[in-house]
Chain A
């Protein structure tokens, strides 16, 4: 039996949205891929390379984008959904450009929000130039501009894990998963380019959950001599030269530590985008971690409490690119099954 072509609105043109659009179009559906920025790609656009294989992020993105060049996919960039209503089992989406899209299903692929490191004032982000976040370091690696505040190659870089992750004080009790391995990846990249630069990672726990992450962690220690210190930094301050002084405790030897560094990189975690208007209008439920709640974490991961509304990628939980792609394909199948009924 040939199915009548259905319309699906995908909100968010990051890796999850792109991959889901390609899969749904491949299954014969018509897709609107709605992206508020001028280009597709989301946070992936900002990345230099990807763990664990260090494949360039651009290469991965271009390959993914080649799959959405499909007559069944209408890409709406610079577009936001201004209004969304459920009418029976269909959805009427009004864009800020005045278009009205009548969709049979909606896929939320709205991704995540990077934790604002200024909320941890003790680390001096936004106050001292030498304190940057992990995406700013990634941009330095991407643009080949890794410099200290004096414009020199840094002699020492400290990466501090778990900023806004597993931190009840800022209301984020959960682990953002990707920051540990990102720090390892970035530490290796710094050492690869500047072997004379000392690189330290300060961590609470190292969580190498994915395939080949543990190998990457060993490589960082054995091949690149990155130093891992178990202990969180308690505070940071700049001296007159712009150097950052940190106070920490090495909890493995139980000694307090005072160190200076050219750059302090805050490995920021992921937060749910709770301001997202479509989710509010449709009444999509969120979990205690504020990410979208799945109907069932085992068998209906991409379903929400609203029939016809699905989720994919990091809007459901902190997620890396590999898992996001797999999750987006799973969402596409879930939508396809729903539309068949």
Chain B
């Protein structure tokens, strides 16, 4: 066994690392402490279950390999992968190397500075192999650092139009991170140069340094610099975006144990906010950026403001809630839900809802067109025609208007008013005795499914209902010679996962074209009820952006399945816009 090596330059690293660990342990313990009883129980039950193993697997795939990031953007994925996985390998392989050398009793700073203490000892098990593996891991990390540095100055290298704008504090920690691995390379190479040792990377670099530099004089300062830089990074980490590195792992555990974002408990939101790596994937997805030129409301900036306790009410409101960012967020942060939580904090509860007093009729199917449905009478009339032909006994619940599903109020943060409306509607729907509730509006659809608690009643969007009528032969349609491009409404697609029924229905009445932004990647029409602050001209720009994509293959008609999308897209006058129901009603035989 070898004597325990020590040099005073390991102290900055040791102090920084210890402080970081102490901070993280206190922070995470306080989170668990402030969870409510139910969540604490979830943690207890989850801790020794398969859920924890699943979390470990997810951490490996997402935090280290960055699988989701690869799927969104391969080059950006490589950058994050090489930094994270390479560093992980350096730690794990380094630990093996050090412990084998020390017979299992290495102090925790020892692997970090191994080359300094053991520059040319090849006597222990797999010594030559370790040298090469460590060099390979270092090279992997360095390749990521190069991409990261180039990305800062030339973001197109990773295929991004926009990258996150950083604060001074983040920049200092960023520079300390960039420096860690080049310093490690230089320090290790200096030592190797002096001893004529090293792997495929450190040996040639060491030889080169030996030939050109006074190695004896600079070797020791380089190791000091390396240790101090590590210390700076560790101390800066909790106060910078790099807090995401440890926190994302905690988030993955919490999520796997079944802990969900709650309106009245801020803990999980804090975990999510700190888990944001500010990779900036959300920035290019946001149409407020690409169509309107807004650069301060995207999820990454919104979370940053929350984290820094800066004013963020404007950013909370200025969001379409289209979900395009959430659907690609590599960390899986509940971006819409967080945004909504912060609206509740800012919107005074002032709205007094009005009720509909229509008496419930005993039927099989309740049809609810919604407030927006009344603004598109062609769609409404088409649905009435289809319902009449279906043979189902139905009640057009809001035929005389004057009723709201409650969701617009919920989105505006008017929770109490929304709940009153929902209770009233729920009672009418249950009194009808219907087994099926059909709605034309994806906004209503989502709230019926998620907040109404209508047990025993199947909730269908009209495209799902029409698909069943066609499949069961209750209505017959003729396939027309008509080219159609379909626009996925945000609330129906990303919001409720209904992608196929409208396409199936369109396929039986027309020829469906494919478009560049479909399904999960569908563009928002800009008419979102969720944004009450965006000027009309900006909404129009977003609608034009969506229509440009939809009309690229010159369809005869743009079809959609949401009254709001229909109105918003039709306003551009770039192509005729019809609801799926209208095309079906026209094709009925």
Say yes or no: B571 contacts A119, CB within 8 Å.
yes
Chain B nearest CB, measured from A22 CB (Å) = 37
Interface size on B, residues (CB 8 A): 19
A168 touches B536 (CB 8 A): yes
Residue of B whose beta carbon sits closest to that of A170: B571
Complex Cα spacing A247 to B404, Å: 14
Q: Nearest chain A CB to B382's CB is how many angstroms away?
A: 11
Stretch at the interface among B98-106, B372-380, B462-470: B372-380
Interface presence of A196 (CB below 8 A): no
Q: Bound complex: CA of A122 vs CA of B374, how far in Å?
A: 7
Chain A residues numbered 287-322 whose CB sits less than 8 Å from any CB in chain B: none
Is B375's CB under 8 angstroms from A121's CB? Answer: yes
Known contacts A168-B537, A171-B540: does B573 contact A237 (CB below 8 Å)? no
| Contact status A127-B537, CB under 8 Å | no
Q: Is B385 an interface residue (CB 8 A)?
A: no
Q: Is the CB of A237 within 8 A of B374?
A: yes
Contacts of A169 in B (CB 8 A): 536, 571
A235 to B540: give the CA distance in the assembly, Å: 22
The answer on a CB contact under 8 Å between A121 and B571 is: no
- CA of A237 to CA of B400 in the docked complex: distance in angstroms? 9
Question: Taking the nearest CB of chain B, how far is it from the CB of A176, in angstroms?
Answer: 18
Interface status of A211 (Cβ within 8 A of chain B) = no
Nearest B-chain residue to A122, judged by Cβ:
B375
Q: Which residue of the partner chain, among B400, B536, B540, B570, contacts A121 with CB atoms under 8 Å?
A: B570
Question: Interface code A167-180, partner B: CB below 8 Å = 1, 0 otherwise?
Answer: 01111000000000
Q: Which of B504-543 contact A (CB under 8 A)?
A: 535-537, 540
* B375 touching A235, Cβ below 8 Å: yes
A residues in contact with B571, CB < 8 Å: 119, 169-171
- A98 located at the interface, meaning its Cβ lies under 8 Å from any Cβ of chain B in the complex: no
* Neighbouring B residues of A122 by C-beta, 8 Å: 374-377
B354 at the interface (CB under 8 A from A): yes
Given contacts A170-B571, A235-B401, A256-B354, contact A124 B537 (CB under 8 A): no
A-side contacts of B570, CB under 8 Å: 119, 121
CB pair B401 A247 closer than 8 Å: yes
- Closest beta carbon of chain B to A233's beta carbon, Å: 11
In the complex, what's the smallest C-beta–C-beta distance from B557 to chain A, in angstroms?
15
Nearest B residue to A123 via CB reads B377
Asked whether B567 is an interface residue with its Cβ less than 8 Å from the other chain, the reply is yes
Chain B residues within 8 Å of A236, by CB: 377
Q: Indicate if the CB atoms of A121 and B376 lie closer than 8 Å.
A: yes
Give which listed residue, A119, A170, A171, A237, contacts B377 with CB less than 8 A: A237
Query: Does the CB pair B377–A121 fall under 8 Å?
Result: yes
Q: Which residue of A lies closest to B563 (CB)?
A: A121
Kindly provide the distance from the CB of A238 to the nearest chain B CB, expressed in whole angstroms: 8
Residues of B within 8 A of A171 (CB): 536-537, 540, 571
Within A168-213, the residues touching B (CB, 8 Å) are 168-171
Binary contact track A222-241/B, C-beta < 8 Å → 1, others 0: 00000000000011110000
Measured CB to CB, the nearest residue on chain B to A237 is: B377
Which residues of chain A are within 8 angstroms of B374 by Cβ–Cβ distance?
122, 235, 237, 247
How would residues 548 to 589 of chain B score, 1 for a CB under 8 Å from any chain A CB and 0 otherwise?
A: 000000000000000000010011010000000000000000
B381 within 8 A of A: yes
Docked-complex contact A127 and B354, CB < 8 angstroms = no
Docked Cα-Cα span, A168 to B571, in Å, equals 11
CA distance A234 to B570 in the complex (A): 18
Q: Complex: how many Å from CA A106 to CA B400? A: 55
Given contacts A119-B573, A256-B354, contact A127 B378 (CB under 8 A): yes
User: Which residues of chain B are within 8 angstroms of A256 by Cβ–Cβ distance?
Assistant: 354, 402
Question: How long is the Cα–Cα vector from A119 to B536 in the complex, in angstroms?
Answer: 16
Residues of A near B535 (CB, < 8 A) are: 168
Tell me which residues across on chain A come within 8 A of B380, comparing CB atoms.
Answer: 237
Contacts of A127 in B (CB 8 A): 377-378, 381
- Asked whether, in the complex, the Cβ of B567 is within 8 Å of the Cβ of A121, the reply is yes
Interchain nearest-CB distance for A253 vs B (Å): 15
| Chain A residues within 8 Å of B573, by CB | 119
Q: How far is the CA of A338 from the CA of B534 in the complex (A)?
A: 46
Separation of A247 and B536 alpha carbons in the complex (Å): 24
Task: Write out the residue numbers on chain A whose beta carbons fall within 8 Å of the beta carbon of B400.
Answer: 258
Cross-chain contact A124 with B354 (CB below 8 angstroms): no
- Rounded to whole Å, the gap between the CB of A209 and the closest CB of chain B is 25
Chain A minimum-CB-distance residue to B540: A171
B378 touches A121 (CB 8 A): yes
Closest to B536 in A: A168
Q: Which one of A121, A127, A128, A237 has the greatest number of beta carbons of chain B within 10 Å?
A: A121
User: Which B residue's beta carbon lies closest to that of A167?
Assistant: B536
CA distance A174 to B183 in the complex (A): 64
Contacts of B378 in A (CB 8 A): 121, 127
- The smallest beta-carbon distance between B429 and chain A, in angstroms, is 22
Please report the C-alpha to C-alpha distance between residue A169 and residue B354 in the assembled complex, in whole angstroms. Answer: 25
Smallest CB gap from B354: residue in A: A256
- List, in ascending order, chain A residues with CB within 8 A of B354's CB: 256
Kindly identify, within residues 348 to 387 of chain B, every residue whose CB is under 8 Å from any CB belonging to chain A.
354, 374-378, 380-381
Smallest Cβ-Cβ distance to A288: which chain B residue: B537
A234 to B376, alpha carbons, bound, how many Å?
Answer: 11
Contact residues, A221-278 vs B (CB, 8 A)? 234-237, 247, 256, 258
Nearest-Cβ distance from residue B25 to partner chain A, whole angstroms: 55
Q: How far is the CA of A127 from the CA of B381 in the complex (A)?
A: 10
A171 to B573, CA, bound (A): 11
**Cβ–Cβ < 8 Å partners of B537 in chain A:** 168, 171
One of B377, B402, B567 near A124 (C-beta < 8 A): B377
Point out the residues of chain B lying under 8 angstroms from A124, CB to CB: 377
Q: Considering the chains assembled together, what is the distance between the CA atoms of A122 and B571 in angstroms?
A: 13
A108-130 interface with B by 8 A CB criterion = 119, 121-122, 124, 127-128
Contact with A along B257-286 (1 / 0, CB 8 A): 000000000000000000000000000000
B30 nearest CB across to chain A (Å): 49
Within the complex, what minimum Cβ distance (angstroms) separates B377 from chain A?
5
Q: How far is the CB of B559 from chain A (nearest CB, A)?
A: 15
Residue of B376, B400, B401, B573 with most partner-chain A CB within 10 A: B401
A256 to B536 CA separation, bound complex (whole angstroms): 25
CB distance from B341 to the nearest CB of A (A): 30
CB contacts (< 8 Å) of B381 on chain A: these are: 127
CA distance A122 to B371 in the complex (A): 11
**In the assembled complex, which residues on chain B have CB atoms less than 8 Å from the CB atom of A170?**
571
Distance A169 CA – B534 CA, assembled complex (angstroms): 12
Residues of A within 8 A of B540 (CB): 171
Query: How far is the CB of B502 from the nearest CB of chain A, in Å?
Result: 20
Rounded to whole Å, the gap between the CB of A277 and the closest CB of chain B is 18
List the A side residues contacting B377 at CB < 8 Å.
Answer: 121-122, 124, 127-128, 235-237
Q: Which residue of A lies closest to B372 (CB)?
A: A122
Q: What residues on B are CB-neighbors of A119 within 8 Å?
A: 570-571, 573
Complex CA distance for A234 and B536, rounded to whole angstroms:
18
Point out the residues of chain B lying under 8 angstroms from A121, CB to CB: 375-378, 567, 570
> Measured between alpha carbons, how far is A256 from B402 in the docked complex, in Å?
10
**Min C-beta distance of A248 to chain B, whole Å:** 11
Distance between Cα atoms of A168 and B537 in the complex (Å): 7
* Alpha-carbon separation in the docked complex, A128 to B377 (Å): 9
> How long is the Cα–Cα vector from A124 to B378 in the complex, in angstroms?
8
Nearest CB of B to A286, in Å: 16
Question: Which residue from chain A places its CB closest to the CB of B577 in the assembled complex?
Answer: A121
A168→B573 CA distance, assembly (Å):
15
Q: Would you list 5 pairs from A and B whose C-beta atoms are within 8 A, ordered by A residue? A: A124-B377, A171-B537, A171-B540, A237-B374, A256-B402
Known: A127-B378, A168-B537, A247-B402. 16 other contacts (CB 8 A): A121-B375, A121-B376, A121-B377, A121-B378, A122-B374, A122-B376, A127-B377, A128-B377, A169-B536, A235-B377, A235-B401, A237-B374, A237-B380, A237-B401, A256-B402, A258-B400
Closest 3 CB pairs of A and B: A168-B536, A122-B375, A235-B374
B contacts, CB < 8 Å to A: 354, 374-378, 380-381, 400-402, 535-537, 540, 567, 570-571, 573
